């Protein structure tokens, strides 16, 4: 029989990869989406099919993790075999600005869902998106036995949710698990998380759309993995007979600075760091012109024609090549956090032993995947704009 999964947070990075993964496995995927004044389904548009089509296997419902009535209805009506709870206010820096909201969505949201399952009386398996941010300043390597010492409202909300999962598992016999996932990234990563912020800015610098990138703490160390690898681990956890919690990580750790250096290197730019603290700057030390590549339109200094006035937001104006000594990175203290998690490095040996899970993509390849994808996307956008410009010009000549 076809299995049914309900995914909260289906429009997010992980939700979109998980939906793809489950559809591929023959599941029917049901997703909770928020009503918004603009479309928020970019990441799943490619797998969406017309719901009028009887064969459609991806079904979406409006709802919010703060609305328990709707959650109970959905669970009762869908009767999912598996629930993947990924919806959250997931940005750590933002959680300092909105601690109460983060507690409501990221913490209490899990309780609402667990209780909706209990009240609806259905038998289902439940996955909670727990986080390495819960470890806070517990020293690395962190595993399932490491104490939680959260250092953000987000981390504290996730710790609360973690314990609610354990309570419902032990109190009501639910097959509910915590996947304690370390940072995982991809080209679909939200644009304000540091990896995507770096690779997106690099592509824009390379194509002459942006001059500089402003960052916060360059010394923080993270265990960065690849999101598609990590969603497979979520699924594996729910296929076990015994509900248990698992750490999912690559075991490798790197600083934000290392990420920046490797990303820029991959695009042919060698950086030199000068100054310290808030005054530190990343400066072009050399450019490998072969690797950096000079796209044919890059030096054209395209003028913005009047026909563009109705065109989008980013007009990709050309710009001359980078020079040695150009300042590409500066520090903006606004991106520092009131408290920082300095060092995350996961020990996923339990997942390896019991789930037979191992990451396929490690740090170096992850950086390359993200840089290449962002450059490719921007080049495609530029080509489209060139075509539109030509069309607009030929029309105005008629
Ligand atoms: P993400 O890209 O920020 O996606 C978050 C999802 O939650 C989006 O679909 C968002 O909807 C939805 N959402 C937010 N508030 C909601 C609400 N009130 N009601 C319903 N939906 C809501 O996050 P992600 O990187 O995919 O992460 C997925 C989950 O794993 C999150 O719980 C995150 O905290 C956790 N986690 C992530 C990582 C990581 O490194 N990525 C590591 C450990 C744990 P919109 O699209 O409408 O905003
Ligand atoms: N976002 C951001 N922006 N972070 C910066 C910047 C910047 O300009 N400059 C330096 N950083 C540092 C942050 O201070 C942090 O130490 C590190 O880069 C990673 O920041 P994020 O990419 O925002 O991720 P995170 O580690 O705080 O949180 C992510 O991983 C958690 C798992 O550990 C999120 O995905 C959470 O939802 C997830 O639970």
Instruction: Provide the 8-state DSSP code for 300.
Output: S
Q: What are the distances in angstroms from CA 119 to CA 76, 114, 169, 365?
A: 9, 9, 15, 45
Q: Taking a C-beta distance cutoff of 8 angstroms, is the pair 130, 158 a contact?
A: yes
* CB half-sphere exposure, 200, CA atoms < 13 A: 15
User: Is there an atom of ligand 2 within 6 Å of 192 CB?
Assistant: yes
CA distance 130 to 122: 23
pLDDT at 306 (0 to 100): 38
Q: Taking a C-beta distance cutoff of 8 angstroms, is the pair 112, 73 a contact?
A: no
Instruction: Sheet with 281-287: list strands edge to edge.
Output: 213-215, 327-331, 281-287, 269-274
Question: Is residue 258 annotated as part of the catalytic site, yes or no?
Answer: no
CA distance 239 to 223: 25
Task: Note the pLDDT tens digit of each residue in 177-205.
Answer: 999 999 999 999 999 999 999 999 999 99
Question: Is residue 162 annotated as part of the catalytic site, yes or no?
Answer: no
Query: Nearest bound ligand to CA 133?
Result: 2
Q: Taking a C-beta distance cutoff of 8 angstroms, is the pair 209, 375 a contact?
A: no
Question: Is residue 154 annotated as part of the catalytic site, yes or no?
Answer: yes
Structure tokens at 149: 């010492």
Query: Nearest bound ligand to CA 102?
Result: 1
Catalytic residue, from 82, 133, 186, 226: name it: 133
Give per-residue burial for 333-363: e unless 16+ CB within 10 Å, then b: eeeeeeebbbbbbbbbebbeeebebebebeb
Q: How far, in Å, from the CA of 133 to the mean position of ligand 2?
A: 9
Q: What is residue 282's three-state secondary structure?
A: strand
Which ligand 2 atom sits nearest the alpha carbon of residue 132? 33
Beta strand 213-215 pairing with 327-331 = parallel
Helix runs in the chain, H state only: 13-24, 68-78, 92-97, 99-102, 109-120, 153-172, 194-206, 227-238, 256-266, 289-292, 349-355, 363-397
Q: What are the distances in angstroms from CA 37 to CA 41, 48, 233?
A: 12, 19, 34
Task: Tell me which H or E stretch contains 180.
Answer: strand 175-181
Q: From atom 35 of ligand 1, which residue's Cα is the shortest distance away?
A: 129
Q: What are the distances in angstroms from CA 216 to CA 86, 252, 278, 281?
A: 27, 22, 8, 11
Q: How far, in Å, from the CA of 44 to the mean position of ligand 1?
A: 14
End-to-end CA distance of the chain: 61
Beta bridge partners of 29: 5, 58
Q: C-alpha angle with apex 132: 260 to 273, nearest 5 degrees? A: 20
pLDDT at 302 (0 to 100): 35
CA distance 153 to 272: 35
CA distance 233 to 184: 12
Residue 258 neighbours by CB under 8 Å, 6+ apart? none
pLDDT at 303 (0 to 100): 35
Q: Taking a C-beta distance cutoff of 8 angstroms, is the pair 277, 331 a contact?
A: yes
This prediction's pTM = 0.93
Catalytic residue, from 17, 127, 154, 226: name it: 154
User: Is there an atom of ligand 1 within 6 Å of 110 CB?
Assistant: no
Q: Taking a C-beta distance cutoff of 8 angstroms, is the pair 184, 230 a contact?
A: yes
Q: What are the distances in angstroms from CA 310 to CA 208, 397, 398?
A: 21, 18, 19
Which ligand 2 atom sits nearest the alpha carbon of residue 129? 39
Low-confidence ranges of the chain (pLDDT < 50): 294-320
pLDDT at 343 (0 to 100): 98
Percent of the chain with pLDDT strictly greater than 90: 85
CA distance 3 to 124: 11
Testing ligand 2's pocket by substitution, the residue of 102, 186, 222, 341 carrying the most ligand atoms inside 8 A of its CB is 222
User: Is there an atom of ligand 1 within 6 Å of 44 CB?
Assistant: no
Q: What are the distances in angstroms from CA 173 to CA 37, 81, 104, 107, 130?
A: 40, 16, 25, 21, 20
């Amino acid at each position: 029989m076809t299995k049914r999964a309900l995914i909260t947070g289906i429009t997010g990075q992980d939700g979109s990869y998980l939906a793809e993964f489950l559809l591929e496995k023959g599941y029917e995927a049901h997703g909770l989406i928020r009503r918004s004044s603009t479309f928020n389904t970019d990441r799943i548009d490619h797998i969406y099919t017309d719901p009028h089509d009887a064969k459609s296997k991806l079904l979406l419902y409006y709802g919010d993790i703060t609305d328990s009535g709707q959650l109970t209805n959905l669970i009762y009506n869908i009767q999912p075999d598996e629930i993947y709870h990924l919806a959250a206010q997931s940005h750590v820096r933002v959680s300092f600005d909105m601690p109460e909201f983060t507690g409501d969505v990221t913490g209490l949201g899990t309780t609402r869902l667990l209780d909706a399952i209990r009240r609806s009386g259905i038998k289902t398996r439940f996955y909670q998106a727990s986080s390495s941010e819960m470890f806070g300043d517990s020293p690395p390597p962190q595993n399932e036995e490491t104490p939680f010492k959260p250092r953000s409202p987000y981390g504290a909300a996730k710790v609360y949710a973690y314990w609610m999962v354990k309570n419902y598992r032990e109190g009501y016999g639910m097959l509910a698990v915590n996947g304690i996932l370390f940072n995982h990234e991809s080209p679909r990563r939200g644009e304000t998380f540091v990896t995507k912020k770096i690779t997106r800015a690099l592509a824009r610098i390379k194509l002459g759309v942006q001059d500089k990138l402003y960052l916060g703490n360059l010394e923080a160390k993270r265990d960065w993995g690849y999101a598609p690898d990590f969603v497979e681990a979520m699924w594996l956890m729910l296929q076990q007979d015994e509900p248990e919690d698992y750490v999912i990580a690559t075991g490798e750790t790197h600083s934000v600075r290392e990420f920046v250096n490797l990303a820029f290197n991959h695009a042919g730019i060698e950086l030199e760091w000068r100054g310290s603290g808030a005054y530190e700057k990343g400066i072009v030390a050399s450019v490998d012109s072969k690797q950096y590549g000079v796209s044919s339109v890059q030096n054209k200094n395209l003028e913005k024609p009047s026909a563009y006035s109705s065109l989008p937001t980013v007009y990709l104006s050309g710009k001359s090549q980078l020079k040695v000594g150009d300042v590409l990175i500066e520090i903006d203290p606004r991106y520092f956090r009131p408290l920082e998690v300095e060092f995350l490095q996961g020990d996923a040996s339990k997942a390896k032993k019991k789930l037979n899970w191992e990451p396929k993509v490690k740090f170096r390849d992850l950086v390359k995947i993200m840089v290449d994808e962002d450059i490719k996307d921007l080049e495609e956008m530029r080509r489209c704009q060139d075509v539109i410009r030509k069309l607009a010009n030929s029309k105005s000549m008629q």
